[in-house]
């Protein structure tokens, strides 16, 4: 493995159930990069504690800290890792192939994931939306987003989202499938998405990143 940067002093702040943190864990595992991991219990509100706000004023996870350099946003962290540890690459070389991988990653990160976030579900609760409607809300955006991704996947080589190696797209899709199961979304129509998950689960990098295997898992 080509190592072009050391992250000896790096710390990743995460939460077992955060699917954005889950993406970064997979990237670290695929790259063979070991960093210290700390856990911020989102459901218990630890992101609002002064001690964490001092580290990350926005209170979000995942959050990367490396000396005086820090970074929020899972995709920014992953692309930074990909540029500083190019092997194995998380994006294909061809510009059109890269674009399609990014399209699928953003379809998860911009069109699905933000809508099912804990802060959104909390806000819906405050607005008087009951648990059944909140579950329907999450399910709806997942299923709608998966329709677009599955349509794209019908044009790409498998068994991963783009060819025989995992890319940024798989790093976003697999954690979103985990969330889809939590919200009881119907995965039956999404054959290629299910195939990606099955393929990913053959790799230690994905298995070790699963929420249930994290030290802070309940």
Question: Rule CB under 8 A: which residues touch a copy of itself?
Answer: 5, 57-58, 60, 69, 71-73, 75-77, 79-80, 83-84, 95-96, 98-100, 102-103, 106-107, 109-111, 113-115, 120, 123, 127-129, 133, 137, 140, 147-148, 151-152
Shortest Cβ 146–a copy of itself spacing (Å) = 11
Cβ closest to a copy of itself, residue 60 vs residue 214: 60
Cβ closest to a copy of itself, residue 41 vs residue 134: 134
Bridge partner list, 12? 37, 64
- Separation CA 30–CA 181 (nearest Å): 24
Cβ closest to a copy of itself, residue 40 vs residue 203: 40
- Largest Cα–Cα separation, the chain: 53
Cβ closest to a copy of itself, residue 64 vs residue 203: 64
Shortest Cβ 204–a copy of itself spacing (Å) = 26
């Amino acid at each position: 493995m080509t190592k072009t940067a050391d992250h000896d002093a790096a710390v990743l702040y995460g939460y077992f159930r955060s699917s954005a943190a889950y993406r970064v864990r997979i990237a670290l595992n695929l790259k063979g990069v070991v960093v210290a991991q700390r856990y911020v219990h989102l459901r218990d509100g630890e992101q609002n504690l002064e001690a964490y706000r001092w580290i990350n004023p926005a209170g979000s996870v995942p959050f990367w800290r490396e000396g005086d350099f820090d970074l929020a946003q899972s995709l920014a962290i992953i692309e930074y890792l990909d540029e500083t540890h190019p092997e194995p690459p998380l994006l294909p070389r061809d510009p059109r192939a890269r674009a399609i991988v990014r399209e699928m990653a953003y379809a998860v990160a911009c069109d699905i994931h933000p809508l099912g976030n804990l802060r959104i579900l909390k806000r819906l609760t405050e607005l008087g939306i009951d648990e059944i409607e909140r579950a329907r809300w999450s399910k709806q955006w997942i299923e709608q987003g998966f329709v677009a991704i599955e349509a794209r996947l019908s044009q790409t080589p498998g068994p991963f989202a783009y060819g025989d190696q995992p890319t940024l797209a798989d790093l976003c899709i697999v954690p979103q499938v985990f969330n889809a199961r939590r919200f009881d979304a119907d995965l039956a129509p999404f054959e290629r998405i299910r195939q990606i998950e099955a393929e990913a689960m053959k790799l230690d990098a994905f298995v070790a990143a699963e929420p249930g295997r994290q030290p802070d898992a309940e």
